[in-house]
Chain A
């Protein structure tokens, strides 16, 4: 008898940052945010992440973070 495939993991209920998630996250580093401030942060952060996401999706798995940028003259010409 073929084993029944495991159910896929439950999809996160949280699709985007909201006031509660921001309050919790920021609270973990010791900063208290009023609800209106947290809601404003969430709206701005969601907009930034949405706009950057197409580039995230195209990143190859092996890509390392380039904190310190270096491109040789030969490579850039």
Chain B
């Protein structure tokens, strides 16, 4: 297998090939490092590549395999992650100027679990400054560019994760999602991305943005890879009391469930407001695809989402501002204009308003769940309502226009964080301009397995994930 064929494999395919001794971890690492170096000048998706250490780790993985030792389901698979997952003694920039030289005191639980499963981290990926931006702009490390069209945004905040995995410069990557930061780059870069149930994955050692909305999950080329990586990182953690003890199913083993009998809800409310006609037609075609696979499509009548979506903005802003208050007092000039302006909004949210927003959440979750899950197993809705904008179009600085643009980009995704429900972004085809788009499948709490089964069946039927941006 040559280098191009190797980087074209999904993470699961590569893991199987390594275990079957068809490809060595060293060969995979050499291939992905060479490809990463090739795409980096165009895409700027990496903040740092640790080639020598990663190659040494790959040689160790091959030697272990030769002795019959398989660490886990990702043995020898090269991965890179959003630069906000701490590794002891190593600086995590968090996309910022402020923490770029700050050595982390301990390794994040997500990275420890990936290490234990045999994955090898070879670099850290570009991201929005402090994960507080949905476009992929970064004024400290340079903007990240979309592999399908470098003039276009990748989406954010997991911008490098989206660009690198789509460009075949990483086999899978961790992102994080507080208002859509996994699903937006998955959508704009043509990937699968799971925002798991809040509490499904430990947040220990991951940079905090908004503690009651933050979630951790992977961006991958296939839904199978998403299931594989989430299965590794999910589960209870004594270092994060908010990590749920709800048992983690074997997601990969449940992928092959037939869709016959699965009830998929659709709605014309909120999620379909002001849709671009071409995106709408791709979303409609996606729903028809699920119906052809045997799913039963049911219409549901949603409660009024708009107030909750606005409450979500205030929760994120207030929690982020509290986390950043010390640096806002002492180092305001070290933030980019946009991030500083968004944090300042949070400083001004009165405590009463913030708590009113939190008081909405339980009732909102019950009302939404009653409306959707009494009739269906999954809600099928778009992730965005518009075509992929350019980097220049969304370079809006920090004024009033900026907040409108930011809120428009996350309008359909941040409600998933408000509810804490799992949301899987699944590619839904390409526009006439050649850019990918996606739908999100929203499920019951801790029912990621049903989302994966539906998304996997759809991918096998459509093959959108097999298209590559590489020329």
Interface residues in chain A, defined as those with a beta carbon under 8 Å from any beta carbon in chain B: 17, 22, 25-26, 29-31, 33, 37, 40-45, 48-49, 51-56, 59, 63-71, 73, 75-77
Cross-interface CB contact of B314 among A40, A48, A64, cutoff 8 Å: A48
Q: Which residues of B come within 8 Å of A, CB atoms?
A: 198-199, 212, 242, 304, 306-311, 313-314, 325, 328-329, 332, 341, 344-345, 347-350, 353, 355-366, 369-370, 373-374, 398-400, 403, 419-420, 444-447
Contacting pair A76 B350 (CB below 8 A): no
Residue of A nearest to B324 (CB): A31
Q: A48-B310, A54-B304 are in contact. Are A69 and B361 (CB under 8 A)?
A: yes
State whether B400 touches A43 (Cβ < 8 A): yes
Q: Is the CB of A29 within 8 A of B361?
A: no
**Are B310 and A69 in contact, with the CB atoms below 8 A?**
no
CB distance from B444 to the nearest CB of A (A): 5
Shortest CB-to-CB span from A65 to chain B, Å, is: 4
* A41–B344 CB distance below 8 A: yes
- A69 near B363: Cβ-Cβ < 8 Å: no
Q: For the complex, what is the distance from the CA of A73 to the CA of B444, rounded to whole Å?
A: 7
Closest residue of chain B to A17 (Cβ to Cβ) is B348
CB neighbours of A40 from chain B (8 A): 341, 398-400
Q: How far apart sit A25 and B344, CA to CA, in the bound complex (Å)?
A: 11
Nearest-CB distance from B405 to chain A (Å)?
Answer: 12
Distance in Å: Cβ of A22 to nearest Cβ of chain B: 5
Task: Collect the chain B residues with CB atoms within 8 Å of residue A22's CB.
Answer: 348
Contact of B360 among A37, A56, A68, A71 (CB under 8 A): A56
CB distance from A37 to the nearest CB of B (A): 6
A55 to B369, CA, bound (A): 17
A77 to B129, CA, bound (A): 39
Report B-chain residues with C-beta under 8 Å of the C-beta of A48.
310, 313-314
Q: Given A29-B325, A51-B306, A76-B373, are A71 and B366 also a contact pair (CB < 8 Å)?
A: yes
B356 closest partner in A (C-beta): A56
- Whole-angstrom distance from the CB of A75 to the nearest CB of chain B? 7
Shortest distance between the CB of A28 and any CB in chain B (Å): 10
How many angstroms between the C-alpha atoms of A7 and B329 in the bound complex?
43
